[in-house]
Amino acid sequence: MLHEDVQLLPFTYRVMPQGFLVVNQAGEYLWLSRSDFDRLLSGNRERMGELYYRFKGKHLVVDDDDEELAVEMLATKLRTRKGYLKAFTSLHMIVATLRCNFRCDYCHASSSDRDRADTDMSWDTAKHVVNLIFESPSPAIKIEFQGGEPLLNWDLVEETIRYAEVVNRFAGRNLEFVICTNLTMVTPEMLTFCKKHRVSLSTSLDGPGQLHDLHRKRRDGGSGYETFRKKLDLTREYLGQDGCSALLTVTRDHLNRLPEVVDHYAELGFNGVFLRSLNPYGYAAANLNDLGYSPGEFLVAYKTALDYIIDMNFRGTPFVEYYAALMLQRILTPFATGFVDLQSPSGAGISGVIYDYNGDVYPADEARMLARTGDRKFCMGNVLDNSYEELFHGRLVQDLVHKSCVEVMPGCATCAYQIYCGADPVRYYAESGDVTGSRPDSGFCQKNKGIIDHIFELLLRNDNRLNNLFWAWITSRNLKDMEL
Ligand code: SF4
């Protein structure tokens, strides 16, 4: 029997110059013209005509006969997308020390002088941290050492890794270690240890020498770049070409020079770059007038750099822009993509957590920065005083989860990109004094919306070569292999 009226399932949409982009609750999308969008809204099967089957295939409409099955299928897809929530906290960042041999203009950690040993984490605190980490139910645990420069407290890093491995003999988790370092103090002995214990390194690279040194300043006044290059080679000798990844911080001085930065990353043998905008914390907040830029200025630079990277791939150099790759994965595949900085509810506390040198626990690195400036709103407690339940099931984390679901947040609730995007309650608080934030004034929102708009524009070109490149990025393959 043919029912004239069908039921609309919840969806969001965005009006673009190219038409109406309609997105269902599981992130599947459809481009519609104005008149086809009106047909959808009519809820009338006869008016929908042949389009009815497309609408049904995208879970935009349902009729009485299959309502239960269709809703169950949509729920399954949504559950798959949100799969990262099952594991609970898997990223555990440990601040081994606040000391650093650098004092970068944009440092989030507000690092301290090399002789400030009172900002080193003690062995007793580190042991408490590791014991607490293994109370997390997550089957995968990543322990990331941060600073300051964690290599300045190398003995603690080494002991903590050994201890975590012992604990893990009983816990049986998929355990991973990363050390975030400027590399300049790395030694063959450290690298031998890292190789043996399968520790990978993550470093900072801001471009060719002059640009790298511009805001990354040694406390002793010299250039860090030459040492960085030598130590990168040394690191690769021990850990292999992919044993050390690099992270870029885009300052005002980078905006017109991103292609140059991209070339340099490729020259040094990195497979890609994450074009990461500046976050307004720590020294970066104090130096915002010199380092900062508007979301619009960032977007212009981002699009130019992305075009450059796409062209570079077409010219035969495989290279990935990781933020675009993440978004493409979210737009084009049904899978869960855990990325603590961009998920709903926010990953703060429930996906990632940071233990300060004194044992204070924060749901995100940015929360630690706020505490450094005197605002301890996001301090979850201390590993020496509080139990796992008090820290992770306490009111603070519950409140962050409640208030960071984009599906119900003002502005986000009706946004077509909510399933691809996420919330950053700590940043919202830093910007507006409120963890829910205000979307029209949010640089975070403007940046994400602008990037996702651009990616949809690229997808709309329906260019075979470009689509192959995007799938190569999503599946970590070579464009050449995709074109065979
Ligand atoms: S932050 Fe902005 S782009 Fe992201 S879901 Fe909310 S309104 Fe949409």
Residue range 18-74, pLDDT digits in tens = 999 999 999 999 999 999 999 999 999 999 999 999 999 999 999 888 889 999 999
**Going along 181-291, which residue ranges are E strands?**
199-204, 244-247, 272-273
**Do 106 and 253 form a contact (C-beta atoms < 8 A)?**
no
Q: How far is the CA of 416 from the centre of ligand 1 (A)?
A: 8
What pLDDT shows up at residue 20? 98
- For the CA atoms of 290, 293, 298, 301, the dihedral, rounded to the nearest 10 degrees, stands at -50
Q: Tell me, what amino acid is at 123?
A: W
The protein residue with its alpha carbon nearest to ligand 1, atom 7, reads: 412
**Do 325 and 449 form a contact (C-beta atoms < 8 A)?**
no
Instruction: Tell me the per-residue pLDDT of 314-341, one tens digit each, with 9 for 90 and over.
Output: 999 999 999 999 999 999 999 988 788 8
The protein residue with its alpha carbon nearest to ligand 1, atom 1, reads: 445
**Going along 296-404, which residue ranges are E strands?**
320-321, 352-355, 360-362, 381-382
The protein residue with its alpha carbon nearest to ligand 1, atom 3, reads: 449
Beta bridge partners of 14: 21
Q: How far is the CA of 444 from the centre of ligand 1 (A)?
A: 8
d(CA 471, CA 75): 26
The helix-helix angle for 123-133 and 154-171 (nearest 10°) equals: 30
CB count, 10 Å around CB of 402? 13
Domain map (residue ranges) of the chain: 7-81, 87-390
- According to DSSP, the β-strands at 199-204 and 244-247 are parallel
d(CA 131, CA 416): 42
H or E stretch covering 146: strand 140-146
The helix-helix angle for 464-474 and 443-460 (nearest 10°) equals: 130
H or E stretch covering 473: helix 464-474
- Average pLDDT of the segment spanning 432-447: 91
What pLDDT shows up at residue 109? 63
d(CA 5, CA 8): 10
- Alpha carbons within 13 angstroms on the beta-carbon side of residue 402 total 7
**Do 206 and 261 form a contact (C-beta atoms < 8 A)?**
yes
Q: Ligand 1: residues within 6 Å at CB?
A: 406, 411-412, 415, 417-418, 421, 439, 445, 448-449
Across all residues in the chain, what is the average pLDDT? 94
Q: How far is the CA of 370 from the centre of ligand 1 (A)?
A: 23
List the structure tokens of 416.
Answer: 């077509």
Q: Is 252 exposed, middle or buried (0-12, 13-18, 19+ CB in 10 A)?
A: middle
d(CA 344, CA 411): 14
Instruction: Tell me the per-residue pLDDT of 136-167, one tens digit each, with 9 for 90 and over.
Output: 999 999 999 998 999 999 999 999 999 999 99
Handedness of CA 395, 399, 400, 402 (dihedral sign): positive
3-state helix, strand, coil split of the chain in percent (to 5) is 50, 15, 35
d(CA 42, CA 8): 9
Peptide bond into 148 cis (omega under 30): yes
13 versus 430: the higher-pLDDT residue is 13
List the structure tokens of 471.
Answer: 């799938």
Sort residue 165 into left (φ over 0), alpha (ψ -120 to 50) or beta. Answer: alpha
The protein residue with its alpha carbon nearest to ligand 1, atom 2, reads: 445
pTM (2 d.p.): 0.94
Q: What architecture is domain 87-390? A: Alpha-Beta Barrel (3.20)
Residue reference for tokens 């130019």: 304
- Average pLDDT of the segment spanning 170-192: 98
Q: How far is the CA of 372 from the centre of ligand 1 (A)?
A: 28
CB count, 10 Å around CB of 155? 10
Q: How far is the CA of 252 from the centre of ligand 1 (A)?
A: 24
> Poorest-confidence range of 186-190, 286-290, 325-329, 425-429?
286-290
Locate the ligand 1 atom nearest the alpha carbon of residue 411 and give its number: 7
CB count, 10 Å around CB of 382? 17
Peptide bond into 345 cis (omega under 30): yes
CB count, 10 Å around CB of 201? 26
What pLDDT shows up at residue 244? 97
Q: How far is the CA of 341 from the centre of ligand 1 (A)?
A: 13
- Average pLDDT of the segment spanning 258-263: 98
Ligand 1 pocket test: pick from 403, 445, 454, 456 the residue with the most ligand atoms within 8 Å of its Cβ: 445
346 versus 116: the higher-pLDDT residue is 346
d(CA 249, CA 207): 10
Using CA atoms, how far residue 281 sits from 95, 129, 246, 370, in Å, is: 17, 25, 20, 7
Using CA atoms, how far residue 368 sits from 115, 164, 361, in Å, is: 22, 23, 8
- For the CA atoms of 98, 102, 108, 114, the dihedral, rounded to the nearest 10 degrees, stands at 20
H or E stretch covering 434: none
Q: How far is the CA of 186 from the centre of ligand 1 (A)?
A: 41
- Quickly state the pLDDT bin for 279 (edges 50, 70, 90): confident
The protein residue with its alpha carbon nearest to ligand 1, atom 5, reads: 418
Q: Residue 384 pLDDT more than 70?
A: yes
- Quickly state the pLDDT bin for 1 (edges 50, 70, 90): very low
Instruction: Tell me the per-residue pLDDT of 398-418, one tens digit each, with 9 for 90 and over.
Output: 999 999 999 999 999 999 999
